[in-house]
Amino acid sequence: MELLDRLEMAEVEETLKRLQSQKRVQVIMVVNTEGIPIKSTMDNPTTTQYANLMHNFILKAWSTVREIDPQNDLTFLQIRSKKNEIMIAPDKNYFLIVIQDPTE
């Protein structure tokens, strides 16, 4: 069991590193469905602030999609702002949040 856990954790780290190395990515964060951050490339206080703010937003978007069409589901969320772009991949247990600076 220990070995399996370690392998999984190594895979998680590798995937996050791959994502971090994508062009102009600033921040990567994984939070669970309660809004508690699990992994992050930022310091703890900022991560918690982001996690709390994003969490409500994600749930609102998800419930909006489901209400319009109960057969539909939220697959991806992007917020574009003047300075950067926030991308969220939602799931049953976790949310992956990536912040990228797409401007030239």
Partner 1 sequence: MATRAQPRQLYPAGSAGAEALATGGAASAEGPGRSGPLQDETLGVASVPSQWRGVQGIRRETKSCQTASIATAEAAAQTWKHVDAEVQTEAPVPVGVLPASQYDGPRLAAFLRRVEAMVIRELNKNWQSHAFDGFEVNWTEQQPTVTCLHTLGYPPAQGQGLHVTSVSWNTTGSVVACAYGRLDDGDWSTLKSFVCAWNLDRRGLNPQQPSAVVEVPSAVMCLAFHPTQPSHVAGGLYSGEVLVWDMSHPEDPLLWRTGLTDDTHTDPVYQVVWLPEPRHSHRFQVLSAATDGKVLLWQGLGAGQLQLTDGFALVVQQLPRNTKLRKPPRGETEVGATAVAFSSFDPSLFVLGTEGGFPLKCSLAAEEAALTRRPSSVPLRAPAQLIFSPHGGPIYSVSCSPFHRNLFLSAGTDGHIHLYSMLQAQPLASLQLSHKYLFAVRWSPVRPLVFAAASGEGDVQLFDLQKSSQKPTVSIKQTQNESPVYCLEFNHQQTQLLAAGDAEGTVKVWQLSTEFTEQGPRETEDLEQLAAEVAT
Nearest to 33 by CA among 53, 58, 69: 58
Identity of the residue, 5 or 67, whose beta carbon is nearer to partner 1 in the bound complex: 5
User: Which residues does 90 contact at the CB level (< 8 Å), separation at least 6?
Assistant: 58, 62, 74, 75, 76, 77
Q: According to the binding rule CB under 8 A, does residue 23 interact with partner 1?
A: yes
Q: According to the binding rule CB under 8 A, does residue 5 interact with partner 1?
A: yes
Q: According to the binding rule CB under 8 A, does residue 61 interact with partner 1?
A: no
Q: How many CB atoms lie within 10 A of CB 11?
A: 10
Sole binder of partner 1 in the list 27, 33, 38, 65 (CB under 8 A): 38
Output the smallest distance, CB 30 to partner 1, in A: 7
CA distance 12 to 38: 12
Q: According to the binding rule CB under 8 A, does residue 98 interact with partner 1?
A: yes
Q: According to the binding rule CB under 8 A, does residue 30 interact with partner 1?
A: yes
